[in-house]
A and B are shown apart, each in its own frame.
Chain A
Amino acid sequence: MEIGAKLEILADAAKYDASCASSGAAKSDSRSGRGVGSTGGAGICHSYAPDGRCISLLKLLLTNSCIYDCHYCINRRSSNVRRAVFTPAEVVKLTLDFYKRNYIEGLFLSSGIIRNADHTMEQVIAVARTLREEHDFRGYIHLKTIPEASPELIETAARYADRISINLELPTQESLDRLAPEKNMARTKVAMGRIRHRLEEASERKRDGDKKLRHATGQSTQVIVGADASTDADFLDRSDELYRSYKMRRVYYSAFSPIPEPSAVLPLQAPPLLREHRLYQADWLMRYYGFQTREILTPEAPNLDLELDPKLAWALRNRQNFPVDLQTAPREVLLRVPGLGVRNVDRILRIRRLTRLRLGDLVRLRVPLKKVQPFIVTADHHPSRYLLDSDRLRARFAPKPRQLELF
């Protein structure tokens, strides 16, 4: 098979993995080396596809042959999709050729499970090893690992990669049993724990002076949203556990999307894109805004409001906490004001030491006035109690009912 045909099949096979980050790697560049590449800093999206997703890494499967039977996945053994296998040399060449043309930040490599976990990991590692050792490639490498692979192989992968990941895929063992029968939550958690342990060891060694140590700096994971009956609370509770227990850099939420070769076990539906978006917003609230999962969702209302962003929804449920005086409120309180992001909160903290804040200041900080006004007090603004107390506050934010448009 020609390399172009393989690329078509094996990129198509990889596109359901949402992870795209190329940030957070240790700083490194090509000036002291033989090859190309640099990492460190924010990461770059080199293109965008019409699905709105950034294209940062060359995202490939080494092969889409797979002995597992995960029903949400086009590559499962029950699918009749065309199969292909890259040789490690082909992936290495594509990566370098794309990289030198500034198409990509690096490589994201995963694989269908062939023969067994260790054999598969060895193939994936071979690509990374060749890139790093033969070509002195200093771009970003993200390797997908398999929980059942031997810990030594996972550690080898971590030494060549900037980030490694294991996809949890579904938030409960019951869902895994039904939709991904080969996968196991407990084994995945043990492997994630081991990875965290190794990542911390490496960062300690680096701190203690082993500057040359090359090692991954973080791990991430992905869950599929909308393939099972799990509630948003199930997802967020699981994410919270993963962030705390295994120090995940990111949990990616990927709306279950129609695939060719649909499984009888999991019929297709429209991807819940808005729900995916709300989960990311809630995830952000947990990580950067000091919210606990129990504040965002409750056992009585375990799903996010699709009409309102989760911070606004929280504020409407907790009106007794408002209005907040921007001149005096502490940072953690400002972070909870709908319409104020982390960056603007920090700006407000600096500004208010020097001057009295007015609505005009907020306009110039590009804060959405309509959204914040009911919740804040400034030198020239005090919201009417009437508005804050009334049911109309929700109506002010909920999207207007509108006629469906013809597509």
Chain B
Amino acid sequence: MRSIDPGNDYESWRRAARELLVAGVAPGEVLFEREQGLFGGAGGLREEPAPYRAGDAAKVPAAFVKLARAASCHREEGRWALLYRILWRIVKGGERDLCEISSDLDVAKALLLGKNVRREIHKMHAFVRFRLVATDGESGRETYAAWFEPEHRIVEAAAPFFRKRFANMNWSIFTPLGCAHWNGEQLAFSEGLAASPLNGGDSMEDFWKTYYRSIFNPARLKVKMMRTEMPAKYWKNLPEAELIGPLIQESRRRVETMHGEDLRPAKAAPRNRYLASLGEMSAAAACSGPSGNQSLAEMAGAAANCRACPLWKSATGTVFGEGPGDARVMVVGEQPGDQEDIAGRPFVGPAGKLLDEAFAQAGLDRSAMYLTNAVKHFKWTPRDTPRGKVRLHQSPAAGEIEACRPWLLGELHRVAPEVLILLGATAARSLLGREVKVVSGRGLIDAPKLAARVILTVHPSYLLRLPAGEVRQAAFAAFVDDLRLASA
């Protein structure tokens, strides 16, 4: 049986373990023991070590290094032997993927150690409480210090977080298991201290305690939950912890007091122009279509409260038409999609972008046209995709097209365009009043009651559904040709 001093940290253990591997020492034949006395802490074999050559480096998966680094910070005595056993199994036992088997007896143990260590690091990030100890008279640069008592050797692993967060102040964290110091340029470590070198508290501690007391809700006591997340072992270095007992004790009386209070009647609203405007907005009457001689803007406002079909419930709001009221060309699509619903504007999503491209090729200026949809609310159904939860477009039903038609007719009458472009079957159905086969009937159609020149063509989202490549290119070109009819 050999005996070896693994040192205190991952690096010293790694040196020792590498030498053992080279010497072919099996896990059962070695004891990992810290040397006592003057020469402790150096690491390495007590016997003459075998010379280490570059070619001896054992290849191990990155997962093992990660596992070993974390577990080695733990204070559990058996960690070095455990890690060496895992290392041996990987390198000599042919179990290369051992670290993947998180339910293996050895791996599970090491993972648990690592988990404890990571948790302790996290708790150190959470529960270190700095006190202001000095302020430089000239530069105003402040120096802070804290005393913390971690269970494991985590100071070095935990320190970079504080350096990133508090780069522009000087600080020291003292612990029994090593201390960390930052002076603005260098992160330094020193030996642990037996007791806190700090005297007195900090001027902000009273405010912090006031905050802790005030943010606590006595009506929902969950002491066990608190103790799980903030175990009592940390309390002695937390200034707020002295309040825990009294707050728990008073909570019942405080809740009883609330229940005993007289119920307060509602006070009348103060005179306030803003409150009045909210009231007006909320009171705006639900409607089902345009009325009288509303302008386009008035119609858009009224449509926001349209309840003619149930689509308003699941949509964000109406997406009304947009463009000059005296446009020569009016374009009617199907209904807003996810993007349009969010932006509150028609044709801003993928189909809208394609439409813009087609307009450009056809020589049409979008800003000079009036763009709208046959249905003003987005109709969707839930769908879970690998990219997340989305709203999948659904074609509007006949009843919904019907319910929305008065708005579309209202827009058509106001704009009274010379050219009307119907994109897809829904727009055609709404304004022509019948089922139309778009692909066979596309081009100029005869509908003099609607506009002097009426063009029927596909909806751009149809193009998006075609396979990319020649097929889509040809369809896009035909689409552009249809749009060109507008300027003929």
Interface residues of A (CB under 8 A from B): 3-4, 7-9, 11-12, 14-16, 29-31, 33-38, 42, 44-55, 58-59, 67, 69, 71, 77-80, 94, 97-98, 100-103, 115-117, 139, 148, 182, 184, 186-187, 189-190, 192-194, 196-197, 240-241, 243-247, 255, 257-265, 267-268, 270-271, 273, 287, 290, 292, 347, 350-351, 353-355, 357, 360-362, 364-365, 407
Contacts and interface: CB of A to CB of B under 8 A. Distances in A.
A117 B272 CA distance: 12
Contact of B103 (A34, A52, A255, A361): A361
B276 to A, nearest CB: 11
A406 to B, nearest CB: 13
A8 B214 contact: yes
Contact of B342 (A58, A139, A194, A353): A194
A30 B168 contact: yes
B164 A29 contact: yes
Contacts of A78: 264-267
A33 B166 CA distance: 10
B168 A33 contact: yes
Contact of A47 (B204, B240, B341, B384): B240
Given A48-B226, A263-B264, A36 B169 contact: yes
A38 B259 contact: no
B266 A71 contact: yes
Given A29-B165, A102-B146, A50 B251 contact: yes
Given A45-B229, A50-B222, A50-B247, A193 B344 contact: yes
Nearest to A188: B316
Interface string B250-292: 0110010111010111110110111100100110000000000
A105 to B, nearest CB: 9
B439 interface: no
Contacts, number: 265
A273 B263 contact: no
Contacts of A245: 316, 341-342, 391
9 contacts: A7-B207, A29-B167, A47-B230, A48-B229, A49-B247, A53-B220, A102-B129, A287-B389, A361-B103
3 closest residue pairs by CB, A with B: A52-B222, A52-B225, A361-B103
A184 B105 contact: no
Q: Of residues B144, B206, B229, which shows the largest number of chain A Cβ atoms within 10 Å of its Cβ? A: B229
B102 A100 contact: no
A16 B217 contact: yes
Nearest to B273: A116
Contacts of B248: 50
B58 interface: no
Contact of B267 (A77, A98, A190, A357): A77
Contact of B216 (A4, A15, A247, A258): A15
B130 interface: yes
Contacts of A102: 128-130, 146, 162, 166
Contact of A30 (B164, B206, B214, B258): B164
Interface string B195-227: 000000010101110111111111111111110
Interface stretch (B119-127, B404-412, B420-428, B454-462): B119-127
Contacts of B278: 148, 182, 184
B244 interface: yes
Contacts of A365: 102-103, 108
B438 interface: no
Given A4-B206, A351-B101, A184 B382 contact: no
B217 A273 contact: no
A11 B214 contact: yes
A264 B342 contact: no
Nearest to B205: A101
A76 B210 CA distance: 23
B131 interface: yes
Given A182-B278, A261-B264, A50 B207 contact: no
B166 A184 contact: no
A51 B391 contact: no
Contacts of B29: none
Interface string B381-409: 01010001111000000000000000000
Contacts of B102: 347, 350-351, 364-365
A299 B126 CA distance: 44
A244 B390 contact: yes
Given A36-B167, A36-B169, 10 more contacts: A12-B214, A47-B238, A47-B240, A49-B216, A49-B226, A67-B275, A115-B274, A262-B261, A360-B103, A407-B252
A15 B169 contact: no
A303 to B, nearest CB: 20
Given A44-B126, A258-B255, A49 B103 contact: no
